[in-house]
Structure 1
Amino acid sequence: MDTYRALTPGEIAALEASGSTADDWSSIEVAEDFHPSQLRGARLGGRVRLASGVRIRNSGVRNYDIGAGTLVEEVVRLECRGESAFGNGTEVAVMNENGGRTVRIYSGLTAQIAYMAAVYRHRPALVAALDRMARRAADAARSAQGSIGRDCRITDCRLLRDVCIGHGATLEGVSVLSNGTVGDFSRIGIDVKAYDFVTAEHALVDNGSLIERCFIGERCIFDRGYTASDSLFFANSHCENGEAVSIFAGPYTVSHHKSSLLIAGMFSFFNAGSGTNQSNHLFKCGAVHQAVHRRGCKFASGAYVMSPAIEGVYTMIMGRHTHHHDTSVFPFSYLLEQEGRSALLPGANLSSYGTVRDIEKWRQRDKRSAGRDLINFETWNPFVGNALAAGLDALRTLYDSNPDAQSFIYNSVHIKLTGLRRGIQRYEQA
């Protein structure tokens, strides 16, 4: 722990000679080994406390504690205006834009806790207990004094307001950060604007990305002007170019391409093709509908889904789908558009090398250190096994109902006889 002291009259004179100013020099505390050469052109206001080796160059700082070895250079304004929880406790209208599944974000939030808070609305006592836990975390973070951790590099930024910054973080060329927490070793880059947010460790937000009311998990990447609001992103998600609104992005949610919109849905181990699009409201009802794209789903280029809708695990979605399908009992399938209708090829993804490639790369790309999100990388588990059994039963029941039929309808999707027979074979082999 650093010990702090007041500045001496000689140090104040030297600081003023090098262009530094303060509203009240008696409110500035420094480490025992402080030397006036550490500050040049510093504009200090309120209570400021500088640990060992802190350097401030041509920057305005108000009401901040700055950790050892940190550099603050060419920052127009770094300030804490009053009591703040630094993004902790912010309500995020995830999955439902009208707030029916709101989750409070905070440092240390995990995918599992957020899932229960958003999805288990039929368990009001559980949801209330999780909300109280989030409120306690926000209260613990609340302070009228901002803080920056050890060995940070904060350069060429415009406005950093009511932001708590963890150890080893890098902020370079940031436009605006307001009411947020930056996790340890995270990097926030050029022209980023972020409001009411929390990032976990080693997050990267860069190149003009715009973030509002979001949680960004460990090792997540936001780049190339990605825009996100009211969304939760968990470990190893990677988003560029497109837009997300009110989504629950479980681990490994990936959207790289331009013109892709993810809205009011749940994803994990997911890949969005270029031009992916969704609609979350019918005109009379408003934006109240949600979709669930289960683990391992992929959208082909130009795919469209109108919510509500749900697919089974490891489903490939191609074409436009407007009839609110439910293929949850048919894992490893292709969902296609044929003659304006949703057509299903049950189990077709079981023979795809792309599925194997995806499953192998997820574990290889896991670079987390904290590892708060519990990730099971195994392909087969009881959930998937039960889905296979349910899909096999459903296909057999359809076939037995009319063995002479050339096609069948199941929850708004069409299944041709040849696809049904092949699906039975694939599920039996699996």
Structure 2
Amino acid sequence: MLIVAIAFIVLLLMGMPVAFAIAISGTLFFIQHPELPFTIPVQVTVSQTQNFALLAVPLFIMAGNLMNRSGITERLLELASVLTGRLTGGLAQVSIALSALMGGVSGSAIADAAMQSRILGDEMVKRGFPLGFAASVLSYGAVLTPIIPPGIGMILYGTIGQVSIGRLFAAGFVPAFLLWLSLSVAVWLTAKRRGYMPEREQWPTGREAIRAFTGGIWAILFPVFLLLGLRMGVFTPSEIGAFAVVYAIFIGVLIYRKMKVRGFLEAMEGSLGDVGSVMFLIALSAIFSYGIVLDRVPEVVSGWILGVTGNLQGAMILVALFVLVIGFFIDATVLIIMLTPIFLPLIRQLGGDPVHFGIVFILAATIGNFTPPVGAAMYAVCSIMKCPIGAYTRESVPLFAAVALVTLFLIFVPGAVLLLPNLIFG
């Protein structure tokens, strides 16, 4: 597998699309082992697409695109302003709150960061925020998105690792709140030092608060309905995706009445591209994964880590650091698909909870979206706002530190992750 890994890295450095880099490097494993039938790469690729549990992925992607065109963003922006507009930091605080509220709608950190940049980017600069600060806040706020139901990373991790998706959905709420709090504090400290003013001069009236909450209630209830449906056995994880699509159409057509035929067709078009890229990546990753299992890579990696430490927290820190470093160069979706079969058996061997590890693992993998050199969310925000990468990187250091501290806290305090899953699912 060493030659396969080197080939994969070289192909990535050459600029080859990740899916093809995975497939080509994975195929090298079969060239190294001529005793294996060369029909296996085709067979495992096709069989991967027939995994019924993965049906949730395209359905939730479709639901996210429909929700984004349902008119819900404007309501959530008003609610975010009411919740945090009076805090020091103004629109920066509002953007963090909006990311928390939008997490259950978009399901994609990159899409959320890009959307917020278009909505709030120019206004933040007009209010005197440095370009790098505005871009980094808008980017890092989206780190909340993958761990708020229905994050696509949770579905992929749960499907690949045979972990309860319902418990993963429930586990994301408390860490998401801690991330919101830590990012808000980081923004507050920076804003206080630089003298940035609040967005609102006074606290909202009761009438304003009720109107804003009423407008955003349908988005807030979305992940709640998902959890209730799973907990009560009304839906399976695959069926809950279909419910999410129907719910999004219901909100857009009957509640907010913003979704027209053109918006629906645009959502479907966007979903085709998103689903095609994700499912193509998942299918081709089966070639790579076959060699990983056959060469017993999980056992080798587990043996190496156990040689360093036999402590569960120590092992999770090593895994998180490894994923964080690799995430600087590889997208989070790819990391979840490729590394879950390697590291999850190790954590289970050490007595760790797969749900607890899943949240930490997904969070560590996601951070790479916001850091140089190849962070997809970072490039999306910086290209939209025309912000230099250097300015973005300097201003993002406090936000990176805030996310890293929360990740470390979650490793040592598993109760923060498992509280809600245990209460809801037992």
TM-score by length of 2: 0.20
More helix by share: 2
More strand by share: 1
Max Rg structure: 1
**Higher relative contact order by CA 8 Å / sep ≥ 6: 1 or 2?**
2
